[in-house]
Amino acid sequence: MLGTPVLRIDGALKVSGGAMYAADLNLPNLAYGVLLCSTIAKGRIASIDARDAAAQPGVLQIITYANCPPLHQPAKPISSQGQSLVPLQSADIAYYGEHVGIVVAESFEAAAAGADLVEITYAPANAPPVLMPGKPLKAAGGARDTTWGNPNAALAKAPIKIDQIYSTPYEHHNPIEPPTTTASWDGDELTLHDGTQWLAGVRMMVAALLGIPPANIRVLSPFVGGSFGSKRVVWPHVYLAAVAAKLVNRPVRLSVSRSQMYTTLGYRPQTTQQVTLGSARDGRLLVFRHTASSTTSEFDSVIEPASAKTGMMYACPNGTFARKLQRVDLGTPTTMRAPGEATGFFALECAMDELAYATKIDPLKLRLLNYANVDPMSKLPWSSKSLKECYAQGAAKFDWKKRSAAPRSMRQGQWLLGWGMASAAYPVNRSPASASVTIVADGRVLVASGTHEMGGGTYTAMAAIAADALGQDISAIQVELGDSNLPATTVSGGSRTINSIGPAVEAAAMQVLDKFVGFAIADPDSPLHGAQASDVRAINGRLQLEGQPMRADRFTQILARNKLPSLSASASTAPSTAATKYSAYGFGAHFAEVRVDPELGEIRVSRYVAAFAAGRIINPLTARSQLIGGIIGGIGMALLEESAIDQNVGTFATRNLVDYRIPVHADVPPIEVLLLPEEDSVTSPLGTKGVGELGIVGAAAAVANAVFHATGQRIRDLPITPEKILSRGIQSARRGG
């Protein structure tokens, strides 16, 4: 079963409209909230006139700092808190778009109409807001900076040096499902229907802010319509929905509009990265430096760890990496798919491409010359590493050997043709998790865990793991998730979901199986009576003696004879201490072809091949989709995505999907993903590693390197646009960027 492509068991619900998201729920007596957001970047509220809004038919309540109950700021930072600034607690304004009120009404339309009638005047701060990096750099936790060997001495002696600045812009997540929370109270008991990546985090954070026991809160999130990190933490609208529901004494649905998502739900911060490589003339690395600075708000220190993982990629005896922060007057940034790795590998892999041209060595050969057989930073052995196989199979499928080395040397009609490649790596993450498995009298198998389905295929993977362990057809498996009352799990972030809950599901399934075997071999009426437990196998919904298929006993028969309506088991699993003795990553290799119009600067990705080794693959169908989705995100990162700043207004000028460019079908060629078989006994009992973020790591660099190969112009600041291509001119292209 495991490793066999399986259609999503929740697919029919999603395509038929039967999947219930947080905004789909209809509760009796439901009211609707609309957020009021600041229209200045910094200052204070001078006055609020809500009289006309309060008179609007259907309006139930207008909540501002003047009547919002005090909220309890946690004594110490909580990892699920999206920002430390709690709104509606004072007249102060820290950033454009900060929540300053909620209008609650009988209908969404009445709430929106009421919101339009609230008049707020402001006293802006005297100094203009700082929106772009420019302040002195601040160290971001010096203990996290790392140095090995003697980088300064090695750099001084290196005959070949690359020293460049690479930058990535502000970016926004733009999931299809806008964040929505529906809150309802039953006495002191609070139920939150919320699109979230972390049920336990919502429960913990809301409890802390409201000052109530976590046990009084239930969070439901059976489906999440995309996230990419934006729903990993708890943003203010979640607990403000609970506040509104308490004040009006009825359920309240509070949705964040598409434009509000750009100011109040985090974003990928801007990064500026300096990468310095020193090598021998034969291309072997002697020294590696990577310093990355990223932007954060004035009140939080959220780091984009762009340099944190790059030192593990290539064998190098001397190196250093550092992280720094620059404060700006925007809301707090947050994680975005492959936070740190996506941005950091863009800089690293472009710098490696530049080194390949400086040493006149093929980019693929250069990476093989510097292949790391152990983790260069930790000196630990790899739990498994099949990167050489990824290089070989990806290059063969792409036909890399036919690449002409010189920039601007390949054409296809009017188009300049470019081929680029890059490496990919993403750490293996695993956390404690729990699950339960129940077999009921009618033969159904119920698998439950308080985890999340964001589109990656969690429902199907859990069903496949249980079916494999129990010898059942997957059609007999029913999966329950998205409920904080179910067995507890961790956040669905860092590509850890299946790596964490998979072993718990398997362990629970094996435990319930052991219970059935115990009943059968002890029962004189069972065909398995007196058999050795080790000789019993589970096949097709029954237990049978190995080598004697006629000696079999169905699960339903065992339950019936013992007058049991069901039999269940729960299991909790956690990472093993043995895993700390290894460095564990998934690896991959990207190969991209681009076409560039030399007259118009138009860039098209025309062909793409990527090969990945990410441990045992539970469901190749959904795993491949995840990797393709990551690559598409990387194409967007390379060529399209940028959240522009309007300094005059004091916020992002990009506020919707009209202005924020993301890849559409016309921008994406057929993408061929190769999944290499890989066994890993260290990462988890199932041997999985995780694929949710691996696909985007290195993808932007592969496209950028292909653009250089096509044009001879090295664009180091993303996104690469026709304007940047044309502004360099033909002379720049002839010089090689």
Residues in Cβ contact with 664 at an 8 Å cutoff, skipping those fewer than 6 apart? none
Q: Are residues 467 and 505 in the same domain?
A: yes
Residues 198, 202: Cα–Cα separation, whole Å: 6
CA-wise closest residue to 295 among 319, 273, 262, 318:
273
Q: Are residues 293 and 249 in the same domain?
A: no
For the segment 272-327, what is each residue's pLDDT rounded down to a tens digit? 999 999 999 999 999 999 999 999 999 999 999 999 999 999 999 999 999 999 99
pLDDT of residue 77: 81
Residues 336, 227: Cα–Cα separation, whole Å: 9
Cα dihedral: 198, 204, 207, 208 (round 10): -130
First to last CA, the chain: 51
Q: pTM value?
A: 0.95
DSSP 538: E
For the segment 374-395, what is each residue's pLDDT rounded down to a tens digit? 999 899 999 999 999 999 999 9
The answer to the question of residue 562 being in a domain is yes
Residue 236: which domain range? 29-127+176-226+231-264
Q: Are residues 497 and 616 in the same domain?
A: no
For the segment 321-334, what is each residue's pLDDT rounded down to a tens digit? 999 999 999 999 99
pLDDT of residue 208: 96
Distances (CA, A) of 123 to 46, 93, 127: 6, 9, 12
The answer to the question of residue 590 being in a domain is yes
Rounded average pLDDT over 501-526: 97
Q: Are residues 317 and 400 in the same domain?
A: yes
The answer to the question of residue 551 being in a domain is yes
Q: Are residues 708 and 633 in the same domain?
A: yes
pLDDT of residue 135: 53
Mean pLDDT, the chain, integer: 95
pLDDT of residue 131: 82
pLDDT-derived band at 73 (thresholds 50, 70, 90) equals: confident
pLDDT of residue 138: 58
pLDDT-derived band at 348 (thresholds 50, 70, 90) equals: very high
The answer to the question of residue 91 being in a domain is yes
Q: Are residues 423 and 439 in the same domain?
A: no
Under 8 Å between Cβ of 601 and 663: no
Q: What is the CATH number of the domain that holds 73?
A: 3.30.365.10
Domain count, the chain: 3
What tokens appear for 534 in the block?
Answer: 């080790």
Rounded average pLDDT over 107-124: 98
Residues 410, 714: Cα–Cα separation, whole Å: 17
Question: Does pLDDT of 526 surpass 80?
Answer: yes
pLDDT-derived band at 737 (thresholds 50, 70, 90) equals: very low
Q: Are residues 441 and 537 in the same domain?
A: yes
> Is 678 annotated in the active site?
no
Residues 598, 427: Cα–Cα separation, whole Å: 39
Q: Are residues 250 and 291 in the same domain?
A: no
CA-wise closest residue to 219 among 79, 35, 22, 70:
22
Cα dihedral: 89, 93, 99, 101 (round 10): 60
* End residue of a domain, out of 529, 551, 574: 574
Residues 303, 293: Cα–Cα separation, whole Å: 8
Residue type, 612: F
Question: Does pLDDT of 134 surpass 70?
Answer: no
Q: Are residues 477 and 589 in the same domain?
A: no
Percent of the chain with pLDDT over 90: 93
Rounded average pLDDT over 38-64: 97
What tokens appear for 103 in the block?
Answer: 């209008």
Q: Are residues 554 and 610 in the same domain?
A: no
* End residue of a domain, out of 264, 283, 315: 264
pLDDT of residue 127: 87
The answer to the question of residue 159 being in a domain is no
The answer to the question of residue 511 being in a domain is yes
For the segment 448-457, what is each residue's pLDDT rounded down to a tens digit? 999 999 999 9
Q: What is the DSSP string of 247-274?
A: HHTS-EEEE--HHHHHHHS--BPPEEEE
pLDDT of residue 142: 45
pLDDT-derived band at 74 (thresholds 50, 70, 90) equals: confident
From the candidates 177, 341, 678, 693, which is the catalytic residue?
693
The answer to the question of residue 168 being in a domain is no
Q: Are residues 220 and 258 in the same domain?
A: yes
The answer to the question of residue 396 being in a domain is yes
pLDDT of residue 438: 98
Q: Are residues 195 and 89 in the same domain?
A: yes
* End residue of a domain, out of 208, 242, 264: 264
Residues 433, 113: Cα–Cα separation, whole Å: 45
